[in-house]
Structure 1
Amino acid sequence: MAKKPWYQNPEMIVAFSALVIGIVTTFTSIYSAAIDRAYARASVWPSVEIARGYGYDSFRYIVSNNGTGPAVIKYAKVTHDKKYLSQWRDINVFEEVTQSHIGKTVLSAQKTITPVLYKGNKVDDILKVDNLISIELCYCSIYDECWIVNRDNNPRPIEQCVIDDKHKFLQ
């Protein structure tokens, strides 16, 4: 009886089939894990926006998280006429304001904070100064994916939130 080549033996065909199934299963598992990680990140993705609101007797800045997960705000940077501020009261027209801390906080999903609120008759003066104010926030997701957002509300991803202490807004 003639000897069959090794690849025609039934045991080798079964072994080769098992190998192919194992490889397909491995790639399917890797792909599934990647999809699961992407879904987990998307399910807790923060989206911070900065806005302002005003009426004839009030003015406020609003910071909201319209994403699906918490935003860990690492720092705030506020400038007025290209000068770094440490608090809102560094601007004369903001002497009589109600302030909330924004420099380092956790903003839950679908929540809003008002870092500064003014009520009074100087709204027109504040609106003139408002054009010279720049606000920048650096925030991260719980997976340490970080973004910087300013008043244009176009977040851009960055590796990590780093700021010089002398530029940090302390309020």
Structure 2
Amino acid sequence: MKIRLEVLVSITAMVTAVAAVVVAILQTQVMHEEASMEREHQRLSVMPALLVYTGSHIGDDKGSFNVGLVNQGIGPAVIESFSAKVEGVESADWEELVAQGTGGQVQIAGDARNVDGVTLSDLTPGTVVPAGENVVPIKLDTTPENAAILRDFSDRLVVSVCYCSLYEECWNTSNQRARPTPVKMCPSRRGDAG
């Protein structure tokens, strides 16, 4: 009877030890999953989502045109590249792009300028667009006739932006695309339309 009691105690000790090892393994897996979920939450909590848009207004005696982008995400967007093209042709700046895109009918600078007000904002690499912020690279106040020309111009205008989150996840978007497309990295900036 004494041997059986010792065997029973040692079997119980072995079962307890195996159970402790199983619990430790399960606890490690749970902790790993929790850490992974926490990292994912942190990544998502700084995810930007840029929307690029064009807008125009044609009133009775005034008109306007603008290109803008708004960060609809919950984290800041770091602009890595920005380009504006009309029918596949990129210009050195907005002055040249608007003149080419409107067949010279709208001039935003120089002696031939025929718009009332011009507001330009440069989107250089490294520009940070905070969540909820709106940036307007170009805004023109003009006549209703010029605004109509600019509305046609906006149908042919492709404004592309490549941006990254603080975790260096990157996306490319444009005024021709409803959703940003994930990319491995943003291309180097080849030209500046701002």
Q: Give me the TM-score of the superposition, normalised by structure 2.
A: 0.79
Offset of residue 115 of structure 1? 0.6
Gaps of 5+ in 1: none
Structure 1's 68 and 87: CA in aligned 2 closer, same or farther, altered over 3 A?
A: same
Equivalent residue number for residue 161 of structure 1: 186
> 1:20 aligns to what SS in structure 2?
helix
Q: 1:137–1:149: 8 Å Cα contact kept in structure 2?
A: yes
Paired position in structure 1 for 2:43: 41
Structure 1 distance, partners of 2:131, 2:44, is 13
Total equivalences in the alignment: 168
Measured against aligned partners, the alpha-carbon deviations of 1:77-108 in whole angstroms (never above 9, x if no partner) come to 21112111231111213524321012321000
SS of residue paired to 1:131: helix
Deviation, 1:170, is 4.9
Q: Does the 8 Å contact 1:88/1:94 carry over to 2?
A: no
The percent identity for this pair of structures is 25
Counterpart-to-counterpart distance in 1, 2:173 and 2:148: 26
Equivalent residue, structure 1, for 2:69: 63
- 1:144 and 2:168 aligned: yes
1:95 counterpart = 2:120: no
SS in 2 for 1:98: strand
Structure 2 residue aligned with 1:108: 130
2:78 to 67, 72, 75: 72
Instruction: Structure 2 unaligned segments of length 5 or more: list them.
Output: 100-105, 110-117
TM-score, normalising length: structure 1: 0.89
In 2, distance between residues paired with 1:154 and 1:16?
52
Aligned CA RMSD, in angstroms, stands at: 2.0
Which protein has the larger Cα radius of gyration, Structure 1 or Structure 2? 2
Partners in 1 of 2:193 and 2:21 — Cα distance? 61
How far apart are residue 133 of structure 1 and its match?
Answer: 1.1
**1:1-54 deviation line (CA, Å, top 9, x unaligned):** 47849xx62321221111011001100001001110111111111010011221
- Runs of 4+ aligned structure 1 residues displaced above 4 Å come to 2-5
